[in-house]
Amino acid sequence: MLAKQLLFLSSLIPILQAQETVLGVYIFHRHGDRTSKNFAPASLTDLGYYQVHASGEFYRNRYIDANASSMIFGISPDLVKNSQLNVQAPVDTVLQNSAAGFLQGLYPPVGTTLGTQTLANGTHVEAPLDGFQLIPVNAIASAASGANSENSAWLQGQSGCNNAIISSNNYFFSEEYMTELNKTLNFYHSVLPVINGTFTLAQDNFKNAYLIYDLVHVSMIHNTSIPSDYLLTPETVFQLQTLADNHEYNLAYNASEPIRAIAGSTLAAQIVQQLNATITGKSSSQIGIQFGAYGSFFSFFGLAQLPAVSVNFTGIIDYASSMTFELVTNATVTNTSYPSNDQISVRFLFSNGTASEHPLTPYPLFGQSETVLPWNTFVDQMNQFAIGNQADWCAQCGNSTGVCASTTSTGSSPISTGSSSSSSGGISKAVAGVIGAMVTLAVILGAEALIMAVAGLRLVNKKRLGGRASPEPVSAVAKA
Ligand SMILES: *[C@@H]1O[C@H](CO)[C@@H](O)[C@H](O)[C@H]1NC(C)=O
Ligand SMILES: *[C@@H]1O[C@H](CO)[C@@H](O)[C@H](O)[C@H]1NC(C)=O
Ligand SMILES: *[C@@H]1O[C@H](CO)[C@@H](O)[C@H](O)[C@H]1NC(C)=O
Ligand SMILES: *[C@@H]1O[C@H](CO)[C@@H](O)[C@H](O)[C@H]1NC(C)=O
Ligand SMILES: *[C@@H]1O[C@H](CO)[C@@H](O)[C@H](O)[C@H]1NC(C)=O
Ligand SMILES: *[C@@H]1O[C@H](CO)[C@@H](O)[C@H](O)[C@H]1NC(C)=O
Ligand SMILES: *[C@@H]1O[C@H](CO)[C@@H](O)[C@H](O)[C@H]1NC(C)=O
Ligand SMILES: *[C@@H]1O[C@H](CO)[C@@H](O)[C@H](O)[C@H]1NC(C)=O
Ligand SMILES: *[C@@H]1O[C@H](CO)[C@@H](O)[C@H](O)[C@H]1NC(C)=O
Ligand SMILES: *[C@@H]1O[C@H](CO)[C@@H](O)[C@H](O)[C@H]1NC(C)=O
Ligand SMILES: *[C@@H]1O[C@H](CO)[C@@H](O)[C@H](O)[C@H]1NC(C)=O
Ligand SMILES: *[C@@H]1O[C@H](CO)[C@@H](O)[C@H](O)[C@H]1NC(C)=O
């Protein structure tokens, strides 16, 4: 009898789960395979294009196709409705192109039947390339995506956030860093014959952990021959990788200095804003997609306490990785009855690589045990560290000039880790101003990096030359 009831109950579970409706999603995505950062400008490779396209197809089959496993409520299945999508990527040849390649998988060419329009005079016009669909990718240069990020070694300078730049630079003076630098010197020198075409003996150390790993990693994928490659045993490559992981994670996040994770804070605000727009617009805009750098994933992982779930979250994620926030409900959704906020939840998922090949797995956020959190809880937790308006941004970053000049006289709250931007809804003009300023900054830094690369020059951080502490960006400097 009991067994029968259990059987009955368990047979209900799939039915109950089938009732779940996805109202919208936010996807934050890394670029696909690219050329090495050591040779700017980096560009997306065919392999990278393939990866992001396959990821787009995966998300299409999950959320968009008429037969999708979790079709988003109200989404147009074949012909893209641009009002339903909000896609952002910085202007560069890696992230911007990755977004474009992903979108081709998400909304592929529709063929001649759907891709034909009829003019007033009765003439039929077919869209080029078998009904290829044009989808705009909005150019941004936010701290989260790291404008021009693929053209410089470390991107904190491009956040434009003074306290974050100082905090990241502080890493180079931490005991952790000094110890690691000393401990690994012999190891780095042992691989010099592999990398001496690009790095000098003086540059061959932990300070350049990421650039060295990037050169080796990219070369192993693309170069048919690598000098002294007998030195690249699996153990050595693994050590180069984990040293780079350590270096980059520490630049992106430090529990005692949350401002270092500014990229994760601004991203958190953007996620809440987009998902909230889906709810308030009753699913008129259901999909937010942003392409950004691994450093922003790290910052967000740290802030959302994911390293406590698994130490894996302190390792550099693979190319074409994505994290996804699903807005879900078990309430009935029709176009005349939309669920209330307390009937809506958020599920966080992560795929460590192309999502079609690496399972999109739910993880619990914020040190909680559930992988599905009520919307209101999710918002409260995100707002513990989200930074989404200009006054907060300026106060937390300690910036008082430029776009921040007008906000300093109003007695902004002192720098704190908590309750920053609970009042953020929709991008305000003020934030648009901050973003605009960042675009300018990024363009300047991008051009600077290019000139340095071409001329073989280097920016040297004054601090490391024994000068006064300066807030100069780390940017391409790390090769010094
Ligand atoms: C959906 O599945 C049905 C039945 O399996 C199939 O006939 C149809 O072509 C599929 N549609 C799409 C858009 O894949
Ligand atoms: C119909 O209109 C289009 C666009 O104005 C024009 O190119 C085409 O020649 C017209 N066709 C006929 C049959 O008038
Ligand atoms: C914030 O201050 C730093 C250091 O003065 C400056 O480099 C950066 O451009 C400022 N950011 C903005 C957005 O004004
Ligand atoms: C993290 O911040 C604390 C406090 O500022 C500092 O003592 C520590 O060295 C920092 N660690 C790293 C890796 O930057
Ligand atoms: C590491 O530091 C110790 C003590 O400060 C020093 O004796 C040693 O030579 C250093 N090792 C390297 C490789 O620099
Ligand atoms: C790199 O090191 C190898 C082995 O020590 C040496 O044969 C080669 O000439 C060096 N290449 C450059 C560019 O210095
Ligand atoms: C791999 O090839 C690129 C392009 O030819 C070259 O710049 C790079 O130095 C090579 N990598 C190594 C480790 O030699
Ligand atoms: C961490 O990574 C290892 C190795 O890839 C894997 O076996 C393990 O399941 C991962 N843990 C989590 C929590 O994802
Ligand atoms: C992703 O994979 C890389 C190895 O390719 C690993 O170092 C990292 O820890 C993984 N991250 C997660 C969250 O599983
Ligand atoms: C919907 O119900 C199923 C089955 O009880 C549950 O697993 C799932 O988490 C629920 N989803 C939401 C958004 O509450
Ligand atoms: C509501 O949905 C029905 C079918 O599901 C559709 O025919 C109708 O146009 C929709 N109304 C609005 C206002 O979207
Ligand atoms: C969602 O947007 C509405 C309307 O703009 C706003 O009133 C509300 O505060 C926003 N909620 C959150 C959590 O941002």
In the three-class reduction of DSSP (H, G, I as helix; E, B as strand; rest coil), residue 225 is classed as coil
Rounded distance between C-alpha atoms, residue 232 and residue 473, angstroms? 32
Atom of ligand 4 nearest to the CA of 177: 13
Overall average pLDDT of the 138-153 stretch: 56
Looking at every residue in the chain, the average pLDDT score rounds to: 82
Give bridge partners of residue 21 from the DSSP assignment.
329
pLDDT at 445: 31
Peptide bond into 193 cis (omega under 30): no
What phi and psi, each to the nearest 5 degrees, are found at residue 13?
Answer: -55, -50
> What is the band of 451 on the pLDDT scale with cuts at 50, 70, 90?
very low
Least confident of 307-316, 345-354, 389-398: 389-398
Question: Which residue owns the Cα nearest ligand 5 atom 14?
Answer: 182
Q: Which numbered atom of ligand 9 lies nearest the CA of 245?
A: 7
- Name the CATH topology of 21-108+128-149+256-404: Rossmann fold (3.40.50)
354 has a pLDDT exceeding 90? yes
> 214-253: per-residue pLDDT in tens?
999 999 999 999 999 999 999 999 999 999 999 999 999 9
The ligand minimizing its distance to the Cα of 108 is 1
pLDDT, tens only, 200-210: 999 999 999 99
Most confident of 375-389, 416-430, 437-451, 463-477: 375-389
Which residues, 6+ apart, have CB-to-CB distance to 114 below 8 Å? 78, 79, 131
pLDDT score at 456: 33
Q: Which ligand is nearest to the CA of 352?
A: 9
pLDDT value for 372: 97
Residue with CA closest to ligand 1 atom 5: 67
Instruction: Please give the pLDDT value at position 444.
Output: 30
- Ligand 4 in contact with 254 (CB < 6 A)? yes
Maximum mean pLDDT: which of 141-155, 284-298, 419-433: 284-298
Q: Is 99 within 8 Å of 89 (Cβ atoms)? A: yes
Q: Per mean pLDDT, which range of 322-326, 346-350, 390-394, 455-459 is the poorest?
A: 455-459
Please tell me which residue, 176 or 5, carries the higher pLDDT value: 176
Q: Using 50, 70 and 90 to split pLDDT, how confident is the model at 439?
A: very low
CA distance 399 to 442: 17
Distance (angstroms) between ligand 1 centre and the Cα of 71 equals 13
pLDDT band at residue 299 under the 50/70/90 scheme:
very high
Query: Which residue has the least CA distance to atom 1 on ligand 4?
Result: 254
Helix spans in 60-93 (H): none
141 C-alpha to center of ligand 3: Å? Answer: 14
Contact 445, 475 (CB under 8 A): yes
Higher pLDDT, 283 or 236: 236
For the chain, how many residues are written? Answer: 480
- The answer for 305, left when phi > 0, alpha when psi is -120 to 50, beta otherwise, is left
Examine the pLDDT at 322 and tell me if it is beyond 50: yes
- pLDDT for residue 172: 94
- Do 365 and 373 meet the contact criterion of CB atoms below 8 Å apart? yes
Lowest mean pLDDT among 53-57, 139-143, 183-187, 223-227: 139-143
How far apart (Å, rounded) are the C-alpha atoms in residues 134 and 103?
9
Poorest-pLDDT segment among 271-280, 308-317, 414-423: 414-423
> What pLDDT is recorded for position 155?
55
CA distance linking residue 41 with residue 144, whole number of Å: 20
Confidence tier at 336 by pLDDT (50, 70, 90): confident
Is the model's pLDDT at 409 over the cut of 60? no
**DSSP string for 242-272:** HHHHHHHHHHH--TT-GGGGHHHHHHHHHHH
Ligand 7 and 226: CB distance under 6 A: yes
Q: What pLDDT was estimated at residue 191? A: 97
Give the pLDDT score at 156. Answer: 60
Give the rounded distance of the alpha carbon of 301 from its chain centre.
11
pLDDT over 90 percentage in the chain: 68
Q: What is the pLDDT of residue 402?
A: 81
Two tokens at 192?
């010099």
Looking at residue 391, its pLDDT comes to 86
CA–centroid distance, residue 196 to ligand 6 (Å): 6
Which pTM does this prediction carry? Answer: 0.84
Check the CA dihedral 273-279-284-287 and report its sign: positive
Is the predicted pLDDT of residue 150 greater than 80, yes or no? no
| % of the chain beyond a pLDDT of 70 | 77
Q: In the prediction, which pLDDT does 469 show?
A: 30
Closest CA to 303 of 345, 341, 272, 343: 272
pLDDT digits (tens, 9 = 90+) for 20-38: 999 999 999 999 999 999 9
- Cis bond upstream, residue 109 (ω within 30): no
The least confident of 3-7, 27-31, 228-232, 274-278 is 3-7
- Alpha-carbon distance 395 to 386, whole Å? 13
Contact 179 CB / ligand 5 (< 6 Å): no
Q: Is the pLDDT of residue 136 over 80?
A: yes
472 or 109, higher pLDDT: 109
For 191-227, b/e burial (b = at least 16 CB within 10 A) is bbebbeebbeeebbbbbbbbbbbbbbbbbeeeeeebe
- What is the gyration radius of the CA atoms in the chain, in angstroms? 24
Ligand of minimum distance to the alpha carbon of 181: 5
